[in-house]
Amino acid sequence: MTLDLLVDAHVHSTFSDGRDQPGANVATAAERGLHTIGLVDHVRSDTLWLPDFVSAVRRLRSQSPLDVSCGVEAKMLDTTGWLDVPPSLAGVDWIVAADHQVPLGREPQPPATVRRMIADGEIDPIEVLDNLLEATAAAAERYDNVLIAHIFSVLPKCGLDETMVADTDVTALGHRLARAGARVEISERWRCPSAHVAKLLHAAGVELVASTDSHRAATIGQYDHVSDIAGALASI
């Protein structure tokens, strides 16, 4: 398969924690020769600026030859697939589902807490992995147009890693994501997933997309890890 490196599906702006305005991000993407950019900012359930962001992205889309999409990035809350998004997502093209915390029980837990719970024997690492897999698949099934952000990036923060996830579990997740129409990003910022996991997801029918998760215009479309993954995928 060919992973299109003229796409950057996940770029932040001043609407959340990015340094540059959305317009500067689109201008940089155009200078770099990209044809597609996903403008994505972090939201929570009580975020109020979303209509303004949607309008700003619409305006840029109408002025740019690039394919400019509007996305919100939200953390996964639980294993039933709820995401920390505002009640109305009118005008949003993509929901970027993120493992910023670990969905455990009623409340997602910060990775440092999960790391301590594992060390204290309060929780089995297998349960952490199972919850993460279930929350990821369920989010894709609950919402339309989901992009899974930096898959498994929370694991190293919990003292775990991607190799602890069985291939069969990655494939099962891939089948559910593909059926739900969710895409998975290959993330430059988080250097994940590995080529191995990317191949398993692709084989399961998942559409993979390149992203930098840039927080400043300068890094938009600049790929190193993602280029390596593209090389590994080119042979299949």
8 binds Zn ion (CB under 5 A): no
Joined together, the tokens standing for residue 138 give 């369920």
Contacting range for Zn ion; rule: CB under 5 A; set: 15-23, 73-81, 82-90, 223-231: 73-81
Q: Residue 180 in contact with residue 156, Cβ under 8 Å?
A: no
Q: Indicate whether 138 belongs to the interface with Zn ion (CB under 5 A).
A: no
Minimum Å gap between C-beta 92 and Zn ion is: 15
Residues 181-210 that bind Zn ion (CB under 5 A): none
The answer to whether the CB of 42 falls within 8 A of the CB of 67 is no
Q: Does 213 bind Zn ion (CB under 5 A)?
A: yes
Contact segment (CB under 5 A) with Zn ion among 16-24, 82-90, 96-104, 129-137 equals 96-104
> How many residues lie near Zn ion (CB under 5 A)?
4
Q: For the residues of 153-180, what is the DSSP string, one character each?
A: THHHHTT--GGGS-HHHHHHHHHHHHHH
How do 94-98 and 102-104 pair as beta strands? unpaired
Among 68, 98, 151, 177, which residue interacts with Zn ion (rule: CB under 5 A)? 98
Secondary structure E strands in 101-211: 102-104, 107-109, 146-148, 183-187, 207-211
Closest residue by beta carbon to Zn ion: 98
CB of 21 to Zn ion, least distance (A): 17
Give the nearer residue to Zn ion in terms of CB position, either 104 or 151: 151
Q: How many angstroms separate the Cα of 224 from the Cα of each of 5, 6, 16, 210, 228?
A: 10, 13, 25, 11, 6
Scanning 68-76, 128-136, 138-146, 172-180 for contacts with Zn ion by CB under 5 A, the matching segment is: 68-76
The CA distance from 215 to 220, in Å, is 9
Contact set with Zn ion (CB under 5 A): 73, 98, 149, 213
